[in-house]
């Protein structure tokens, strides 16, 4: 076996990033149910028919085609991981920029669900138009959703 590894052309080797390997391990350990649901959804949306039609997969596709399919899948997975990581970082920055405005909200007069939904909407609006002031968007959204309690109203 060791001799056969020496004869492998470097261009035929597949290199996977450490982050992608970690993601695949995480999915196996923590998201296998969600992955199963994704597979079930694929079967319901036509993949089952495709499987039945392609029983002779090896005859229809070359080894290179199969390798390219694996590479395309892993490339997509890695691109989605990078995209999601970047979005999470942007959300974190937006949340940090919101903290001064959030600190000024009197939580005795505003419930946490209103606060959370206002933060979520302000964050999503910032993704669409990053030139707006995130604190201003948040405060506008908070005012739209805030339903003052008559018992706590101050004159």
Residue 61: inside a domain: no
Q: Could you give the count of Cα atoms lying within 13 Å of 45 in the half-sphere of its Cβ? A: 6
d(CA 150, CA 37): 46
Take residue 94 and report the two structure tokens written for it: 């937006």
Residue 23 has pLDDT above 90, yes or no: yes
Q: Mean pLDDT for the chain?
A: 78
pLDDT of the residue at 102: 74
Instruction: Give domain status of residue 96, yes or no.
Output: yes
pLDDT per position as a tens digit, 47-63: 888 877 776 666 677 77
Residue 56 domain-assigned (yes or no):
no
82 is a domain residue: no
Give a yes or no: residue 127 inside a domain: yes
Q: What are 77-127's pLDDT values in tens digits?
A: 999 998 888 888 777 766 777 777 777 676 677 777 787 787 778 877 777
- 58 belongs to a structural domain: no
- Domain-embedded: residue 116: yes
Q: 122 near 82, Cβ under 8 Å?
A: no
Helices (H), the chain: 2-6, 18-30, 32-42, 48-53, 57-60, 63-103, 112-128, 134-145
Rounded CA-CA distance 50/53 in Å is: 5
Q: Which range marks the domain in which residue 126 is found?
A: 87-147
Q: Whole-structure pTM over 0.75, yes or no? A: no
């Amino acid at each position: 076996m060791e001799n056969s590894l020496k004869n492998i052309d470097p261009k035929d080797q597949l290199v996977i990033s450490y982050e992608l390997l970690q993601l695949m391990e995480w999915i196996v350990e923590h998201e296998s149910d969600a992955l199963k649901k994704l597979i079930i959804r694929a079967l319901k949306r036509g993949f089952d028919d495709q499987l039945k039609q392609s029983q002779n997969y090896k005859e229809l596709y070359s080894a290179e085609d199969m390798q390219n399919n694996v590479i395309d899948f892993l490339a997509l997975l890695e691109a989605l991981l990078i995209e999601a990581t970047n979005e999470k970082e942007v959300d974190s920055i937006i949340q940090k920029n919101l903290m001064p405005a959030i600190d000024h909200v009197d939580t005795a007069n505003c419930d946490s669900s209103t606060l959370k939904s206002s933060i979520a909407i302000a964050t999503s609006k910032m993704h669409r138009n990053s030139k707006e002031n995130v604190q201003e968007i948040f405060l506008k959204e908070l005012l739209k959703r805030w339903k003052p309690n008559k018992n706590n109203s101050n004159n």
